[in-house]
Structure 1
Amino acid sequence: MVQFEGKYQHERSDNFDEFLKAIGVPMIPRKMVTSSNPVVEVVREGDRWTIRMNTLIRTIEYNFTPGEVISSETMGGLAQNVFTIENDCIRQTQRSDTYTTEVIREFFDDSLVMTLTHVESGIVCHRYFRRI
């Protein structure tokens, strides 16, 4: 199994603007988010995990034990999240009142690839990060 823990610098995204439109992010915040190069940090303490993404607008942080349902605030309101760990991936299902997303974070020795899917429309986005 690849080591998940560490920091990852964003390098590029494919179809991210379309994904943000699908989940209802307004134009101005969407443009700010798509122009930023966030750092993702993954920390593990026993069975507890933290995934933190620092963006221009805000810091998004998830603290979880795999299988646990946790709440988070999104641009569209509250959402429920469940994380699972399978092979070299952390999978996240996020459900809000208006959408469902599936996020797969696939880890490699020197990188992280996030695949985000807006379930209702089928729009898929990929975000690429390198380990720093």
Structure 2
Amino acid sequence: MVQIVGKYEHEKSEGFEEYLRTVSGGEQADKAATFAKSKPVLDVQESGDEFVITVTNEGKSTTSTFKLGVPYDETMPHGVTMKSVTTRDGDTFTTETELPGGNKSVRVYEFLDDGITVHLSDSKTGAKATRYYKRF
């Protein structure tokens, strides 16, 4: 088992801008392009049976607190709050988020010794992307 608690800095992405454009339907293309170029920092903490993840990006922070397997309100970087549930399988967290229109977003966080690889997928469009973070 790797150490999950820690701080992680965005290093690179594959297909993320296109993923955002596809999922947002194109009407948010400028915002998607700007967000795709950002370099967020993830701070993952564990307190008892709860996890606290703070995402800091361009001077703004959002924090989500959750228990594994229990639905919770997750505030997205763009300020919208959605229902999510996170489960764990070894060194992997899977977060499923209910999107408008019955759509579902899935993020799989693979925790590694030197960072996190995040696989994103969208159930409606089939769009996929990968983001890489290094531990610091």
Output the TM-score relative to the length of structure 2: 0.88
- TM-aligned CA distance change 1:3 to 1:76, over 3 Å: closer
Correspondence for 1:59 among 61, 77, 97: 61
Gaps of 5+ in 2: none
Correspondence for 1:45 among 41, 44, 47: 47
Q: Which string of whole-angstrom CA distances, capped at 9 and with x for unpartnered residues, describes residues 83-102 of structure 1?
A: 01111111100002233100
Residue 97 in 1 paired to residue 100 in 2? yes
Correspondence for 2:29 among 13, 27, 30: 27
Greater Cα shift, 99-108 or 53-62: 53-62
Q: Percent identity?
A: 26
Q: Secondary structure at the match of 2:113?
A: coil
Match in the other structure for 2:73:
71
Counterpart contact for 1:33–1:57, Cα < 8 Å: no
Q: Distance in 1 between matches of 2:94 and 2:63?
A: 15
Output the TM-score relative to the length of structure 1: 0.90
Q: Secondary structure at the match of 1:23?
A: helix
| RMSD of aligned residue pairs (Cα, Å) | 1.8
Match in the other structure for 1:86:
89
Q: Distance in 1 between matches of 2:13 and 2:21?
A: 15
Greater Cα shift, 48-57 or 13-22: 48-57
Counterpart contact for 2:23–2:127, Cα < 8 Å: no
Q: Secondary structure at the match of 2:69?
A: coil
Counterpart contact for 1:51–1:61, Cα < 8 Å: yes
